[in-house]
Structure 1
Amino acid sequence: MKVFSINLLSGIKGSCRAVLFVAGLVLALTFAGADPVHAEFQTISMDNDLATEIEDAAADGKRLIVMFHEEGCPWCNKMRDRIFPHPKIVKYFSDKFIMIEQDIKGDLELTTPEGEAITQKIFARKMRVRGTPTFVFFDTDGKVAARIAGYQDVATFIASGRYVHEKIFKTGKSLARWQMEQ
């Protein structure tokens, strides 16, 4: 059995090869320790008390979004990596929302917006989460204002935020109907 390999640096002389190697190593180490990019509206709840989070958000003129996720969810990661850090998302959501993630298979206890103490996975079932990511937008009174499932592009995610922030959900018009009319 023959093994073939290609050495991309084979045509480069010794000292140049060493410089390229060191430069690549420095670059790799620089980004290896870098913190992940997070949108300003993402937060971590210290006590997992969603009722208190809704109250605190409302006091700041904001609303709560719960992002249901699960470990290894590629679409959740895509939302975190590509959509949440997008400048338009950061600009729109930072002043209007906070977002807390909940694991649909998680055993951590949380307090629901109604004040009930249950686990993350029971809360996900209660919220009828069938896949990830699922986003549940709460109004300032703790009621579900909107629910969207799956990967969302920038424009669609902002439109969902507008639907809640501008209180369009209070008109009785569904998010889907309102988005079709836009």
Structure 2
Amino acid sequence: MKRLILLLFFIFSSILILADIPNMIDEFDVAAKIANIEKKALIIVFSSKDCYYCKLFESRVYPKAAVQTLIKNNYVFAELYLGNNEHRVHFRGREFTNVQFAQAFGVKGTPTFVFFTDTGTPITYYPGYSPENMFVKILKHLSQKLFEKGVEFKDYLKKKDGFVGKQVVIDLKSEKDAQFLVKNDPYIRVLKLGNEDKIEGKNIQIREKNIKKLDPYLRYIICKDSDGKRLLELLEKNGFLNIYLIHCKT
């Protein structure tokens, strides 16, 4: 993992480091494993290539800043095309195609959104297209588990809520988990302090004075060493919400 942290970096033109809107994960098994490692809820949207409202969601809802912020902080998001037979879904000891998996949840049309806990337990589902403001409300209601507190969604719709997420610091169990996240989670970045600002792919080196110019809602892997301890303090102090720690071999 130390090699991952100490990669040579290219100097990037802008100091402000923000994430592009990533493509959605297209494999259930990959998304479910990320959710389990990161302790985040999982959203699966069943979609199809010729679905007008699926394309509308992809262009008008998914890229919006409010939606992306909530997804980054609270969810792992995957899109399963019903016509895609390349990947298999493994769920509760059974193997499915995407179509079979959709049928198992009673999906009758696309898009349909199915929400799971981080351990893969289904929570609820929402069929059909929702505009940005409604989808944001859905994400906030579920991510705060307000349904467990007796807050009905119809009542929640009337309330103002500035929730974006809670700060989470996770000790990753292994270097293998860290490598899996770097490879498969579009929101992951590997972060270290340095004397200049550099970037290469998902690897970022940042000067201490420029910490605030990072996207606070991305998911950062940092080393549990002396430099990492200082970096953790800076991230926590500046309101970064997703911090993952890994023991780095020297």
TM-score (norm 2): 0.50
Q: Indicate the structure (1 or 2) with the bigger Cα radius of gyration.
A: 1
- What is the alpha-carbon distance in structure 1 between the residues aligned to residue 58 and residue 45 of structure 2? 11
- Determine if contact 1:70/1:132 at 8 Å carries over to the other structure: yes
- Larger helix share, 1 or 2: 1
**C-alpha spacing 1:59/1:102, structure 2 compared with 1 (3 Å):** same
- What is the alpha-carbon distance in structure 1 between the residues aligned to residue 141 and residue 26 of structure 2? 24
- What is the alpha-carbon distance in structure 1 between the residues aligned to residue 23 and residue 69 of structure 2? 10
- Determine if contact 2:113/2:127 at 8 Å carries over to the other structure: yes
Match in the other structure for 2:167: none
Structure 2: unaligned runs, 5 residues or longer: 1-19, 160-250
- Determine if contact 2:31/2:78 at 8 Å carries over to the other structure: no
Structure 1: unaligned runs, 5 residues or longer: 1-37
Q: How many residues align?
A: 140
Residue 79 (str. 1) matches residue 57 (str. 2): yes
TM-score (norm 1): 0.66
> What fraction of aligned residue pairs are identical, expressed as a percent?
22
- Determine if contact 1:68/1:104 at 8 Å carries over to the other structure: yes
**C-alpha spacing 1:121/1:163, structure 2 compared with 1 (3 Å):** same
Per-residue deviation at 1:110?
2.1
Select 2:45's aligned residue among 67, 71, 88.
67
CA deviations over 1:104-140 (Å, ceiling 9, x no partner): 3443442343231111111111111111111111111
**C-alpha spacing 1:68/1:142, structure 2 compared with 1 (3 Å):** same
One-letter code aligned to 1:98: V
Query: Root-mean-square deviation (CA), in Å?
Result: 2.4
- Determine if contact 2:31/2:77 at 8 Å carries over to the other structure: no
- Larger strand share, 1 or 2: 2
CA deviations over 1:52-87 (Å, ceiling 9, x no partner): 632421322322111101121010001001111111
- What is the alpha-carbon distance in structure 2 between the residues aligned to residue 94 and residue 105 of structure 1? 27
One-letter code aligned to 2:137: A
Residue 145 (str. 1) matches residue 123 (str. 2): yes
- Determine if contact 1:54/1:113 at 8 Å carries over to the other structure: no
One-letter code aligned to 2:131: D
One-letter code aligned to 1:92: L
**C-alpha spacing 1:107/1:178, structure 2 compared with 1 (3 Å):** farther
